[in-house]
Structure 1
Amino acid sequence: MNSNFEDSVNKIVNKMGITKEELQSRIEDIKKEFDGLLSDEGALAIIAKDCGVEIEQDAGIFQRRLYINELEVGMQTVTVAGRVENIYPVRTFQRKSGTDGKVVNLTLRDKTGSIRAALWDEHVNLVENGSIKNGKIIELKNSYIKEGWQGQNEVNLGNRGEIELNPDVDAEDFPEISVEEIKIGEIKPDMNNISIVGKIIDIPEVKDITTRDGRQTKLQEMTVADETGQIHVPVWGEKINNISNASKGDVIRIKQGYTRLGFGNRINLNIGNSTIIEINPKGVQISQVEDLKQTQIEVPSYSAGQPQIKITDLTPESRNVNLIGKCIELGEVREVANDNKVMEVILGDETGSVILSVWNEDIQKMKKGESYQIINGYVTTYQNRIRLNTGKFGKFEVSEEKVTKVDMKSNISESEYKPTRKNIIEISENQLVEVRGTILDLISKNLMYDACPKCMKKVTFEDGEIHCPKCGIVPDSQKRMIYSFTLDDGTNNIRVTVIGETAEKLYKITSEEGQQLNLEKVDDSTQIQLNTEQFLGKEIIVTGRTKKNKLNNQLEIMARNIEEPNVIKEIKNTLKKYD
């Protein structure tokens, strides 16, 4: 055993008042619980955490190399291997200290699945010099698993991380990567290792771009089409050299590209480090393509088997909404963030009316007096008032069935919806609820995140662009406060996540002050502890919508408002139950 392990054993036996033999017995019991997955060091780390002893971990927690489908967010000192399926462009950045850094993302695959991997600084050299390339099996040691792009697991190498370029593995665990040549009309978001052949139908001039961190780069955008559709192809940095002699009308073959959803729900075919571009390859011809439309995500179409509801049936929990309504009033068109436009329309049927939000090019489709079929819509609430939306996966179209009678008196968007006070044990998914309880503990690791300025969703930075999972590529981001805590009401407990102004109100610190802590390099533990004690054990009333957490599949509340109980109001509410 190494000296750190022995030191840790001594700390734990002294703290717990047990013998080393008893501790070893507990180590073996924990290893059995994990079906042999943990090493002695890993089992010891669990015991140390349970009894509040801090230990150093030199050896790996896990006994063996893990398969990709065994990886979970929060795992440390992991060894994982995979065949390189895709290599994304290398990105450079400047740290707060002023030093330069670089990062590259890979997709690794084994027989159980795939995962995104991030390599930093000196490890990036292995990509740049060709030591790591598509199809090669590599092994990452002393890595850790975090939540990455679009909430998916991501493996990262820490300061002590290592890469084995020629690992001793069973090749059958790592199937060969197939590169599929497909038609543009078959392309969907988040595809890897695809190849297309098409004709360049638009290729504007190269643009000079300043990235968020102040770095200068270049961008050239193409539109490529075949007989089934067309797609947007952004080309960044040095990769532009591969198309420097390309012109409109040229045939292009793109091998080993990958797709992402861009701005306006447009699918982009992106060029990675391993992507190969051929201009006018021999023997390839493309038919006429100039009149084809941009490839978009398919929207589920309405069928007779889907339930159709009336407007007054809508609630804050309504999803997959299908209804027919008549446009009885058009609101003003407003310009909002990122050059988007929105118009509020009043839609009615014989039961009542509701506000429908219509965006961008859809605004021109909406005519007063026409009847429309809403397909796969959903309801949101603004200031506790209902709004109907179509969103990314919904749509509206002119209805063959016409609405002839409209109840103008019952506009459900004008009535304030009162959330239902519930015990935590009664809560289910996708409800607008009000819960009274006590804050038990703070479970966040940091206070800030980078937010889309339009929809406030978490953004990521890739290929010199800022990606929002809802809005696509956005020009900028902003810092926003976020943290979570456990709320208990005596019947059960639940995770509550608070964001933005609600988070600032409870924590008594602004987003600007939180960001200043980051700039001053205050570590996360200090940052979290600054104002924690003032609200632990505090009784509050939380209003918010319930949802399933993507990582652990447990219910949580996304808080919209938090307030302290008003004694008089609470007594009155209690008395109403007995009226």
Structure 2
Amino acid sequence: MNIDKLKQKILSKINQEELEKKVKEKIEENSGLLGEESAVMLVAQELGIEITYEDDEEEYDFTIKDIADGQKNVEVTGKIIEISPEKEFNRKDGSTGKIASITIGDNTGITRLTLWNDKTDLIEGLKKGDVVKIENAFSRKWNDKVELNSGSELSIDKLKKYDESRYPILKESYKISELMPNFSGTINAEVVAAYPKKEFNRKDGTKGQLKSLILKDDSGGIRGTLWNELADFEVKKGDIAEVSGYVKQGYSGLEISVDNIGIVEESVKEEKPVEKMNISELTSFDGEYVTISGNITNISGSREVQFSDRNAEVQDMYLNDGTGMVKIAFWGPNRNILNDLKEGDYLNVSNCKLRTYTDNTGEKRADLTYNYMSELKKDESASEKIVEKITAIGDILSGSADSSDVTVIGMVTNAYPVNEFSRSNGGTGKVRNIMLDDSTGSIRMALWDGDAETEISEGDVVKLIHGYAKESGEYMDLSTGRFGRIEVNPEGISIKSPRNYIADLEEGISTEISGTVVDYRKQDVILSLCPNCRKRVSLVDNKYTCEVCGEVTPNELLVSNLTLDDGTGVINCRIYGNNVEKITELSKDKLKEMNLDALSNVLGKDVLFYGTPSFRNDDLEFAVKRVNFADASKELEVLKQL
């Protein structure tokens, strides 16, 4: 191809400055792995300019990313990235075989072709950087990667004419950001962490060893592993090293399995021992490997995560050291470590990879990943064990509790239906609200998605473990958040509603009362409120008007005031929302139709009300949170104990 002629075609549509700018952008988009000629060709394609070649193209449209497990007669072109020379091996029958391989790549991926016996002769005369056409190969999966193998009709031909833009540029040395999975290359980088040599057991019962390094240059970082004899190589933090090896995708990013290492410049820094950090400090150390200690507060179930090229299993553990809480992810086989652990265990965890991010509230968070160079030790004698602290709802409402981490136990006084909603990504979510009361106060709790489906009824005891409280308008709400979880009717915990006579009620102390409905206030059961300021609205000329906000469409609230008599006294009881439907045994629509007639049907009923007494206009009134009907036989037993 005559690249100068192609540039002239492009310049007929854009000027020289625009061409140079677009070429530069293409090279930068491909991390410097694209040459100028290839970039010019991409610009031409975008502008709809036909690219012609002096000879017919010999390349296949089939790319490496199109190769799938089990294909036959695979025909593909690629640039040779690595050649593994011919080696002999002994077969079980005593005969000798031969094996060789080449690794090829295009701009869609990289794969290896294994050559057996007489097919090893096909690599003769080939070298790294050649573009070859492979025909009649077959594919199979090996170690979770799809590779090519030599069939009986396999052929490999070196191409003289090809489109350079389709293939990666090969270099003597790469920046870390230029590395790709299934790629062999050399980098020059600083050793920012060097971990002690570790031994491991192989499947055949022999011992192996490894040493892990964290390498960084001005473009990024990568983990490197030195295996077996190479693990004896002396390297320390601060050294500048030349490292060659095979790059693969690990659970927490790219990794390089080191084949060769040399020290370019020795460090003059004195290496300090790794110090344990407080969890509250972690957000300042993005990308580092850290060591922490704390109690296990929760171990999640295993879940599957889908990546673009694979699926992986992960399980999370949450650790609390008194200064904060952090999630540690255990991927793949590392999940087995959690089998011998339980909530409450005190652990020392070292060399975990740290990642920071900003959550949907704008707060900076830290997560850790446990990998094969991390270590975990359980400390049975630790004096720093954290004792579970139960937070009173009253302390949350008054603002005297740390709302970012609360464990609350309360009785469900109201359990509302599950509501579905549409997410911004097109998915569907679920939410359910319940009201919890622990005698110091009452608070709403939002249950999302899976938690929303949990079977919870009024009167159940719910324990929220390591949740959080947040302001929602004029109210405080509880939520599980990213660390919390709920238990319904946990073993060994029970809350009995305290029972009192009306004559013995004290302001602000939640309790249960029993009595007979003897009267009701003559007011509409539907209260129309302004949706903006919550003031009562007036109906004028068939239009609802707020004295503050003007004409509005009101919110409708069910409300009724019933008088209860238990023989020791009478008290006005204020009832709202679905509790009005429960006491009248009528739907909202039916209540709107019947209005006061519905309340007349309640007279004479024996009921149980749970709520909180408070003074209103110098009279003690009872705000009802839960409604039940009295069972005469059970009531006699309860009254005997009062």
**TM bucket, shorter chain:** 0.3 to 0.5
Which has more strand, going by share of residues? 2
Length-normalised TM-score, structure 1: 0.34
User: Which structure has the larger Rg over C-alpha atoms?
Assistant: 2
Length-normalised TM-score, structure 2: 0.31
Which structure has more RCO (C-alpha within 8 Å, separation ≥ 6)? 1
